[in-house]
Amino acid sequence: MKIKEKEKNNTLAEKEAGKEILRADLAEVIKRYSYGLDKNRPDVVAKRAQKNQRTARANVEDLFDAGSFSEYGALTVAAQRGRRSLDDLISKTPGDGLIAGIGTINGNLFSSTKSRCMVLAYDYSVLAGTQGFFNHKKKDRMLVLAHEQRIPLVLLAEGGGGRPGDVDAAGISVAGLDLKTFSLFGGLSGKVPVVGVVSGMCFAGNAALLGCCDVIIAAKNSNIGMGGPVMIEGGGLGVFKPEEIGPMDVQTQNGVVDIEVADDVEMIAVTKKYLSYFQGDIPKWEAGDQLRLRKLIPESRRRAYDVRVVIKALADTDSFLELRPKFGQCMVTGFIRIEGRPLGVIANNCMHMAGAIEAEGADKAARLMQICQAHKIPIISLCDTPGFMVGPEIEKRAQVRHVCRMFVIGSHLTVPYFTIVLRRGYGLGAMAMARGGFHDSFFIASWPSGEFGGMGLEGAVKAGFRKELEAVKDPAEREALYEKLVAQLYEMGKAVNMAQHLEIDAVIDPADTRKWIIRGLNSASVRQADEGGHSYVDPW
């Protein structure tokens, strides 16, 4: 009784003093966790701020809903006890340079099940964000959980790749090539959304993981390369500064980076927006006046227009997120919402080569199809193309293989697919935009401006009526005959005539496009594939 009374008195004294005295083991744990907190690393925070960057921990805190994040493996330190003191490692290598855990993102919009997400965030302030022995072990632990629980993953990839200085692993590992990290990470593709995010330098192993992601969101200060300066110099290939390797003006134009952003703040905001399309419908939405769509296609068929304006006018307000805008510019791809419901979108860009489909644009469209198929997101195709690009030069870019990806991948889609023809629907290119053929979409509808043909109508006249045209000797009469034949083909290829012959399903008022899409979403279901998994051979 005396002992209990003494403990009670001590507790009262502590409370009266406004201070709790912690037992030693708990105090040790709390202190250990404190080493990785930004408030205890002001020098690190200041150094990052000088580069207009936030710390990895600040980005993670911004990414997840407040209070939802559970960190795994925070007490890890680098495997370097053979060359550094434990106190130094605790202080300088918190988490072994990797912040990992699970929480919720966009939890204010979606249920906890739909909003849960995992993060693997390299901390550049710890040994340049390199991949150490224990952070590989931590990654593997987390990746197994991601597979088992089917948890979406965000990778913050800033860092320099493999770390040669982990001497503690010397007796355990020789080359370290037997780890499971990369196969586990690559195996998530198609199972869950995998988003790669980078601000700053990202080379070697870090870049290898980044390149496995569905999309890459990168700040304009980023440099991305499969080999960094050390590896390049070690291979006898010259001496380069990090800034010379894979800058954004290169990686956005070649398709490596899907979305370029200004800084860390926008990087995290766009990551949240991207993930939202895979988390479900949102109940509140706004849309612009749909009557505006009636005036967006020029009355002159020879005038170009910006299809991005059409997409934004059609979609819910501020819901369009474009992917790879500087790559494959004949095609525009991304995600939108219609009445709060997410869809993938592919659209021909008539401001680039009149919308003729080139190899890179076909690849961009095919990849969007694959992402939507993997995660059961319906697709809307906005068609305005004269067909596939042709000519000796285009064939040097493996046009035959690249553009045919749209046929092979499109034919295996089981998600609802809707085609709207805005203006031109010519030849094989138009068929590819419609999932392989005009009757392969759940519906194919045209705006009144639609015009159709097996190939460009002017070219069809020149090829099909060559003898008749050559028989007319007078140039003026020949031109008049040519214009007459072209006009006849245009009249035959009008959207209304196509609908009369049941080659398309309907000609619709542009202002009713959203209604058609919603009715399609309410009517179509995700079909079951004939066989499970990826059951085709990609042409490229």
- Distance, in Å, from the CA atom of 470 to the CA atom of 89, rounded to the nearest integer, reads 85
Whether residues 148 and 59 fall in one domain:
yes
Residues 55, 57, 60, 64, CA torsion sign: negative
Whether residues 337 and 272 fall in one domain:
no
pLDDT band of residue 441 (cuts 50, 70, 90) is: very high
Whether residues 240 and 309 fall in one domain:
no
Q: Which of 38, 144, 131, 149 is nearest to 76 (CA)?
A: 131
Instruction: For residue 264, give the 3-state DSSP assignment.
Output: helix
Q: In whole numbers, what is the pLDDT of the chain averaged over residues?
A: 90
Q: Is residue 284 part of a domain?
A: no
Whether residues 474 and 395 fall in one domain:
no
Residue 38, burial from CB neighbour count under 10 angstroms (0-12, 13-18, 19+): middle
Whether residues 95 and 177 fall in one domain:
yes
Higher-pLDDT residue of 136, 514: 514
- pLDDT single digits (tens) 111-134: 989 999 999 999 999 988 888 888
Whether residues 65 and 205 fall in one domain:
yes
Q: Which of 482, 456, 460, 458 is nearest to 469 (CA)?
A: 482
Q: Is residue 93 part of a domain?
A: yes
Q: Please, are residues 194 and 172 in contact by the beta-carbon 8 Å criterion?
A: no
Q: Which two tokens stand for residue 268?
A: 């995290």
Instruction: State residue 53's pLDDT score.
Output: 96
Whether residues 231 and 331 fall in one domain:
no
Q: Is residue 3 part of a domain?
A: no
Whether residues 237 and 307 fall in one domain:
no
Is the confidence at residue 196, as pLDDT, over 80?
A: yes
Whether residues 439 and 468 fall in one domain:
no
Is the confidence at residue 252, as pLDDT, over 70?
A: yes
Q: Is residue 137 part of a domain?
A: yes
Whether residues 133 and 203 fall in one domain:
yes
Q: Is residue 407 part of a domain?
A: yes
Q: Could you tell me the CATH number of the domain that includes residue 186?
A: 3.90.226.10
Q: Please, are residues 121 and 100 in contact by the beta-carbon 8 Å criterion?
A: yes
Most confident of 176-185, 400-409, 450-459: 400-409
- Residue 215 pairs in a beta bridge with 195
Instruction: State residue 81's pLDDT score.
Output: 85
* 3-state DSSP helix/strand/coil % of the chain, to nearest 5: 45, 15, 40
- Answer with the one of 214, 247, 276 that is the final residue of a domain: 276
φ/ψ of residue 21, rounded to 5 = -90, 115
Q: Is residue 531 part of a domain?
A: no
- Answer with the one of 241, 276, 311 that is the final residue of a domain: 276
- pLDDT single digits (tens) 450-494: 999 877 777 777 777 788 877 878 888 787 887 788 787 778 889
Please give the tally of structural domains in the chain: 3
Q: What global pTM score does this model have? A: 0.91
Is the confidence at residue 15, as pLDDT, over 60?
A: no
- pLDDT single digits (tens) 302-336: 899 999 999 999 999 999 999 999 999 999 999 99
Section 76-83 average pLDDT: 86
Q: Which of 194, 80, 179, 81 is nearest to 138 (CA)?
A: 179
Q: Name residue, tokens 């809307």.
A: 380
pLDDT band of residue 6 (cuts 50, 70, 90) is: low
Q: Is residue 9 part of a domain?
A: no
Q: Is residue 335 part of a domain?
A: yes
- What amino acid occupies position 38? D
- Distance, in Å, from the CA atom of 401 to the CA atom of 340, rounded to the nearest integer, reads 36
Cβ neighbors of 371 (< 8 A, separation 6 or more) are: 214, 215, 344, 377
Whether residues 438 and 471 fall in one domain:
no
Q: Structural domain of residue 218, as residue ranges?
A: 34-276
Whether residues 342 and 270 fall in one domain:
no
- Distance, in Å, from the CA atom of 402 to the CA atom of 540, rounded to the nearest integer, reads 6
Q: What is the 3-state secondary structure (H, E, C) of 343-369?
A: EEEEEECCCCHHHCECHHHHHHHHHHH
